[in-house]
Structure 1
Amino acid sequence: MSQDLHRSVLLREAVDALVVDPDGFYIDGTFGRGGHSALVLEQLGEAGSLLAVDKDPQAIAFAGERFAGEPRFAIWHGSFADMDEAAAGKVGQVSGILLDLGVSSPQLDQAERGFSFMQDGPLDMRMDTSRGVSAADWVNTESESEMARVFKEYGEERFARRMSAAIAKRRVEKPFERTLDLAEVVKAANPAWEKGKHPATRVFQAIRIYINGELDDLYQALDKSLQLLKPGGRLVIISFHSLEDRIVKRFIREQEKGPQLPRGLPVMESQINKTLRSVGKAVKAEAQEVGENVRSRSAVMRVAERLPDRAQ
C-alpha cells in the first residue's frame, strides 16, 4: 500500500495533551492514517498500549500494514460511538481518549469515495463503505422537506429549501449518481456565494454528517468517555466545524458544573459530583501549520481531564 500524504492536524499538541502516563492504555477513536497513533506509540513505554478505532475499511487495512508486529497496538473496525465495546473490560482504566473528528485527507482526496465537490466521482460519502445508505441513495429518495431540514441543521445552510427543491426537481428527470452533478445543481440554486467557499460546501457537509451519523456518534462517544476514563485520564477532541465544537464545548462545561440541582437544596460545593475539568484553553493551529496544511485552519482542540467520583 502506498504511503498516504495525510497530515494529522495539531499532531504534537494533541499527543502531548493526551499522554499523561507512558504505561497507560489509550484509545485513538479516529485512526485515519495513523499519524496521531504513531506519535502516541513513540511516547508510550513497553507497558503502555493503544487501541485504535476506525469506520473505514481502508484505514483498518492500512493500520494492519503500518503497525504490523507492534505488540502495543490493536485496531478495531467500527465507530468510536462503540469504543466501550472495542475496549471491553477497560471501564475506568483508560488513560486517554483522542477523537480527531471530520474526514481524513485520503477520504477527501480519493474521488471514488464521493466526499469531494471538487472532483468527479460516484456519489457515496460513506466512511464505512461496507454498510449503510450512500449519498446517492439518500438524495434520490429522501423527501424534499427532510433534505431541507438536514441541509439547515447539519450544514447551517440558509438556502436549504431552495437547494432541496432544485435537487427534488432534477432527480425526477435523472437520478443523481456523480458528485460534480450534484454540486452543479446546488451551485445553481445558491443565490449568494460566500467568498472563498464553494457554494455546495454546506450541503455536502450536511449530507456527509447525516448519512454517517457523525453527531449522534459524537454524543454517544462523549457519554462513554466518562465511563472509560480513569481519574486523571484525558479526553482530547479536535473539531473541524462549529456544530461539533459546540457539542464538545457544551459537554465539557456541563460535566464541569455537575448535575443541576434545585435551587436552595442544602448541598455543599464539595458534594457535587463533577466529572471533568477543562485543561487549558481551546487550541487552534498556528500559522505555519495552516500554511503547510490548509485543512487545519478550522481545527479547534479541547482537552478535559476525568475527575475522581465523589464518595456517595
Structure 2
Amino acid sequence: MAYHVPVLLTESIEGLNISPNGVYVDLTFGGGGHSRAILEKLGRKGRLIAFDQDEEALKNAIDDSRFMLIRSNFRYFRNFLRYHGIDRVNGILADLGVSSHHLDSPERGFSFRFEGALDMRMNRNARLTAQKVVNDYPVEELARILKLYGEVQGAGKMASVIAKARESQKIETADQLLAILKPLVPFKIQNKVLAQVFQAIRIEVNREMESLKAMLENSSKCLLPGGRLVVISYHSLEDRMVKNYLRYGNIEGTDSKDLMGNRPTPFEQVNKKVITPTEEECLANNRARSAKLRIGERL
C-alpha cells in the first residue's frame, strides 16, 4: 500500500504558481507525492526544502540535488530555513492532518479500526502519548479537549466515564477505550463520534493547533511578495484558522482595521471560495472527502 495518496494534488501545485528557479517548501513531506510534483515544475536552479517530524517519512526521501528533507515539526521551519541560509521563499505547501500511513499502522494507534496501543505520536520521540492523555489528564481538561478539538457532544459525560473506568484499570489500548465509549453512543453514529474522539486526542498529543498557529505566522515572514501559501485542511478547526489568517491576519478572526479602513492582513486570498476535491477524487480516495484547500498570496 502507498505511504500516502496526495490529496488535491493538481489544484495545490497549480495554486503554488511555481517559478522554475524559485525556492519552495513542502511542510508535510509524508510519502513525497506533493514534493515530487513540485520538483517536476522546477528548473535546474530551483530548490525544494521539505519537512516531516516522523522518522519513517525519511525513507521516502528523493534523490535529487535540488531537494532537502529535514526531520522537524513544521512549526520550526523558519528557524531551519535561516540555518541553511534561506530567508525568503516563493511558495509554501502544507497538507495538514494525519497520513494514510499513520491511519493504517495499528501500532501507531491513530485509528479506532485496529487493536493497538494508544500512542498517536507523529514524532515518536515526543513524550506525550494518547495513553497519558486518557489516563493522566484531569477530567475537566479531558472534557475540554474532547469538546474543543473533537466537537464531541456530551464531552463532559464522556470524560467522566473515562475517568471512572481508569480508576480500576489503566486504559492502554484502542480496544479498551472503545469498550468504554461505545455504550455511550447510539450505534448509528458510533463511527462518527469515535472518529471525533480519536481526532481530539490526536490533536492534543501532537499540539497540532499550536503548530498550525506558529506555521501560519511564520509563513508571512518567509514568503516573498507574490509568493503563495497553499494549505489543505481536513477538519473545521484547521480550516477556520487558515481562513481567518488569510482574511484577517490572525487566527482568531478578529476584524481589526486601521484608520484608513484597511485590514492589516499579509495575504490576499487567491480563492475566495474554498476548493474541495472532485467527486471522482473522493471515489478514488475516500480520505479526500473532508479536504479543503485555501490559497493566499503574500502582499
TM-score normalized with structure 1 length = 0.89
CA distance change for structure 1 residues 90 and 108 in 2, over 3 Å: closer, same or farther? Answer: same
Residue in 1 aligned with 2:131? Answer: 136
Secondary structure of the structure 2 residue equivalent to 1:302: strand
Residue in 2 aligned with 1:169? Answer: 164
AA partner of residue 207 (structure 1): I
- Of 27, 30, 33, the residue aligned with 2:31 is 33
The answer to whether the 8 Å contact 1:163/1:189 transfers is: yes
Give the Å deviation of 1:162. Answer: 1.6
Residue in 2 aligned with 1:277? Answer: 268
1:14-33 equivalences under 5 Å are 14-33=12-31
Which runs of no fewer than 5 residues in structure 2 stay unpaired? none
- The alignment's C-alpha RMSD in Å is 2.0
Residue in 2 aligned with 1:147? Answer: 142
Residue in 2 aligned with 1:45? Answer: 43
CA distance change for structure 1 residues 187 and 198 in 2, over 3 Å: closer, same or farther? Answer: farther
Give the Å deviation of 1:165. Answer: 1.2
Give the Å deviation of 1:193. Answer: 4.7
AA partner of residue 270 (structure 2): V
1:58-97 equivalences under 5 Å are 58-63=56-61, 67-68=62-63, 70-88=64-82, 89-91=85-87, 93-97=88-92
The answer to whether the 8 Å contact 1:255/1:277 transfers is: no
- Of 197, 203, 207, the residue aligned with 1:203 is 197
Q: Deviations over 1:188-243 (max 9, x none)?
A: 22257538x34311110000001100011001100000100001100000000011
TM-score normalized with structure 2 length = 0.93
Give the Å deviation of 1:297. Answer: 0.4
- Percent identical among aligned pairs is 40
**Distance between the aligned counterparts of 1:299 and 1:44, measured in 2?**
26
The answer to whether the 8 Å contact 1:193/1:199 transfers is: no
Secondary structure of the structure 2 residue equivalent to 1:127: coil
Residue in 1 aligned with 2:105? Answer: 110
**Distance between the aligned counterparts of 2:280 and 2:14, measured in 1?**
19
Which runs of no fewer than 5 residues in structure 1 stay unpaired? 308-312
Size of the aligned set, in residue pairs, is 294
The answer to whether the 8 Å contact 1:56/1:77 transfers is: yes
**Distance between the aligned counterparts of 1:135 and 1:118, measured in 2?**
16
Secondary structure of the structure 1 residue equivalent to 2:24: strand
- Of 126, 136, 141, the residue aligned with 2:121 is 126
Residue in 2 aligned with 1:310? Answer: none
CA distance change for structure 1 residues 306 and 235 in 2, over 3 Å: closer, same or farther? Answer: same
The answer to whether the 8 Å contact 2:147/2:155 transfers is: yes
AA partner of residue 13 (structure 2): V
Residue in 1 aligned with 2:154? Answer: 159
Give the Å deviation of 1:273. Answer: 5.3
The answer to whether the 8 Å contact 1:159/1:190 transfers is: no
CA distance change for structure 1 residues 303 and 168 in 2, over 3 Å: closer, same or farther? Answer: same
Residue in 1 aligned with 2:256? Answer: 260
- Say yes or no: does 1:304 pair with 2:296: yes
The answer to whether the 8 Å contact 2:229/2:297 transfers is: yes
**Distance between the aligned counterparts of 2:24 and 2:143, measured in 1?**
40
**Distance between the aligned counterparts of 2:275 and 2:287, measured in 1?**
15
CA distance change for structure 1 residues 191 and 159 in 2, over 3 Å: closer, same or farther? Answer: farther
**Distance between the aligned counterparts of 1:47 and 1:116, measured in 2?**
41
Secondary structure of the structure 1 residue equivalent to 2:193: coil
Give the Å deviation of 1:275. Answer: 1.7
CA distance change for structure 1 residues 185 and 274 in 2, over 3 Å: closer, same or farther? Answer: closer
- Say yes or no: does 1:216 pair with 2:210: yes
- Of 108-117 and 247-256, deviating more is 247-256
The answer to whether the 8 Å contact 1:20/1:233 transfers is: no
Secondary structure of the structure 2 residue equivalent to 1:231: strand
Give the Å deviation of 1:166. Answer: 1.4
Residue in 2 aligned with 1:182? Answer: 177
**Distance between the aligned counterparts of 2:180 and 2:255, measured in 1?**
47
- Of 29-38 and 180-189, deviating more is 180-189
Residue in 2 aligned with 1:233? Answer: 227
